[in-house]
Amino acid sequence: MRRDVGIISLAALMVWGCAAPAVAASASGSSLVFDFEDGHVLYAEDIDQPWYPASLTKMMTAYMAFTAIKEGRAKKDTKVKISAAAYKMPPTRLGMKTGSEITLDDALRALMMRSANDVAVAIAETLGGDEASFVKEMNQTAARLGMTHTHFINPHGLPAEKQVSTARDMGLLSQALLKDFPEEAPLYSLTSATIGKITIGTHNALLTSFDGGDGIKTGYTCASGYNLAASATRDGRRLIAIVLGAPSNSARTARASALLESGFRTHEWKTSFPIARLQNYPREVIGTPYEPDELILGRFRACSAPPPPPKPEPATASADSATKAGGTAAAPAAKIEKTSAQNASASKKAPRNTSKKKRTKQ
């Protein structure tokens, strides 16, 4: 009898591993989809390949902010000041003047929806005392969460040669963000908000294009390509998909949609035999290195420098004429609306291994 059970189990494993894949292999980057609750991996492709996280970095910045609130070191109405260093950050930006203040609550909306680099620095300075101290805490938290192949250099994800992660680690971070702070989940599904005089929209097209799509963060630099951590919930079951290195905004949305759709369709039989969870899925890299490899270094070196910071602000003019932030010392509370997604990411393909790289916008 025991032998029969063993044969049946072995047969099931062979079917799981050898059946024609429900998701076609990606032409570039890494892909992953797993069950949010137990981490059961439903599809994985190169999940330990080092990659630039770009603005997926801001998920950790948000995690740090929520931790500070939970521990009583900050509140939702804590004032976040835009310093001179924050103001100088290249796009994407919220665009408020140096010295302006917004609440931490509004700052988190700008961080997760607009992917505002100036706000990421302002949050780091407010909660960490300075950016370097905050980044040190980010790396300590990453280690605690089991993100063994991740190293942060900054809180926003703008190009840094040694700021690397993996699809597995971004999956662990997405899962932790949703599990440890479930009350904050509605933030990731917002598609529109107003902060002071500035109306912001989400970059995540999957929120309105995929049935059940409810989060969580996009990212883009020239070297990283188009990244996406996506979540969707159907019939009470939530799945998380990670896409790194897609060639365009539309490609990352399509890839994540295919992963999630396949995950929902195959979940029942793939979870009948608990083969591997995200934490113990067979690793392609032994140990805890987080050095970039030649593949992503080649992409990084082929890309041009990020766009220059904004010009010094005039004494009376608004800091960012494109967004007309205004000159008030503190912005009014945000007005939130769930409307159609305002996808600001360009749909051009991320260039690869050529000297004509231009885009670094997140």
- Tell me the β-bridge partners of 218: 228
| Tens-place pLDDT, residues 189-229 | 999 999 989 999 999 999 999 999 999 999 999 999 999 99
Q: Domain containing 159 — which CATH number?
A: 3.40.710.10
Evaluate whether residue 2 is within a structural domain: no
Q: Which residue has better confidence, 271 or 50?
A: 50
Sheet containing 225-234: order of strands: 41-45, 30-35, 237-246, 225-234, 213-221
CA atoms within 13 A on the CB side of 67: 18
Rounded average pLDDT over 132-142:
98
Q: Which domain holds residue 36?
A: 26-306+320-337
- Residue-wise over 181-197: b if at least 16 C-beta within 10 A, else e? beebbebbbbbbbbbbe
Pair type for strands 237-246 and 30-35: antiparallel
Looking at the domain assignment, is residue 237 inside a domain?
yes
Percentage of residues in the chain having pLDDT higher than 90? 67
Per-residue confidence (pLDDT) for residue 47, from 0 to 100: 96
- Residue 104, in any domain of the structure: yes
Does 345 fall in a domain? no
- DSSP annotation string for 7-71: HHHHHHHHHHHHSPPSSPPPSSSEEEEEETTT-BEEEEESTTS-B--GGGHHHHHHHHHHHHHHT
pLDDT at 12 over 90: no
Select from 116, 123, 99 the least CA-distant residue to 198: 116
Q: What pLDDT, on a 0 to 100 scale, did the predictor assign at position 247?
A: 96
| Cα Rg of the chain, angstroms | 21
pLDDT bin (cut points 50, 70, 90) of residue 285 is: low
DSSP 93-158: ---PPTT-EEEHHHHHHIIIII--HHHHHHHHHHHHSSHHHHHHHHHHHHHHTT-TT-B-SSSS--
Please report, in range form, the residues annotated as the binding site. 217
Compute the mean pLDDT over every residue in the chain, rounded to the nearest whole number.
82
C-alpha–C-alpha distance, residues 323 and 59, integer Å:
24
Three-state DSSP state, 189? helix
Helix (H) or strand (E) run with residue 81 in it = strand 79-81
Mean pLDDT of 53-77: 98
- The pLDDT of residue 275 is above 50: yes
pLDDT of residue 309: 57
211: closest CA among 239, 187, 243? 239
pLDDT in tens, 80-114: 999 999 999 999 999 999 999 999 999 999 999 99
Q: Return the pLDDT at 312.
A: 56
Residue 111: its pLDDT value, please?
98
Total domain count, the chain? 1
CA distances from 103 to 106, 130, 246 (A): 5, 18, 34
Lowest mean pLDDT among 25-34, 287-296, 308-317: 308-317
Q: What is the mean pLDDT of residues 163-178?
A: 98
Sign of CA dihedral 125, 129, 130, 133: negative
261 in a structural domain: yes
Going by the annotation, the residues of the binding site for substrate are: 217
Task: Grade residue 252 by pLDDT with cuts at 50, 70 and 90.
Answer: very high
Report whether pLDDT(361) > 90. no
Q: What is the dihedral of CA 129, 132, 134, 136, to 10 degrees?
A: -140
Q: Is there a domain that residue 21 lies in?
A: no
pLDDT cut 70: percent of the chain above it: 74
Average pLDDT, integer, range 30-56: 96
Residue 344 lies in a domain: no
- What's the confidence (pLDDT) of residue 284? 72
Catalytic residues: 55, 58, 115
Q: Comparing C-alpha atoms, which of 310, 266, 227, 286 is closest to residue 56?
A: 227
pLDDT of residue 354: 39
CB 105, CB 195: distance < 8 Å: no
pLDDT of residue 27: 53
Q: CB–CB of 127/74 below 8 Å?
A: yes
Residue 137 has pLDDT above 70, yes or no: yes
What is the bridge-based pairing of β-strands 41-45 and 335-337?
Answer: unpaired
CA atoms within 13 A of residue 80's CA, in its CB half-sphere: 31
Cβ neighbour number for residue 80 with a 10 Å cutoff: 27
Q: Which residues pair with 238 in a beta bridge?
A: 233
Average pLDDT over residues 133-158: 97
Which residue, 293, 275, 288, 23, is CA-closest to 143? 288
In a domain, 19, yes or no: no
pTM over 0.85: no
Q: In this structure, are residues 325 and 197 in contact, taking their beta carbons and an 8 Å threshold?
A: yes
